[in-house]
Structure 1
Amino acid sequence: MPGINLPPNMKAKYETACFSRLLLSALILMSGHMLYPFF
């Protein structure tokens, strides 16, 4: 978000949360895709 100036530690925390959420959703998508043929 270009309009908001966050402190560096908050920015890092926010980016980490976004990244982990993205990674988790990707993992769920992948596992679902892998398991799909077996159901």
Structure 2
Amino acid sequence: MILARTLGIHTDVAVAWQCLSAGGWTNYAAEISRRTSTQEDIR
């Protein structure tokens, strides 16, 4: 994991931070699947 190497932390710590801040990849995937075409056009 690039972030972990850059910060000099263990990958488990980086993953734990990611889960706490964003809720994990499953939540991200669910959010993407709920987007409408209008929302995608704005970004």
Q: Which of these two proteins has the greater Rg computed from alpha carbons?
A: 1
TM-score norm. by structure 2 comes to 0.31
Q: Which structure ranks higher in relative contact order (CA pairs < 8 Å, sequence separation ≥ 6)?
A: 2
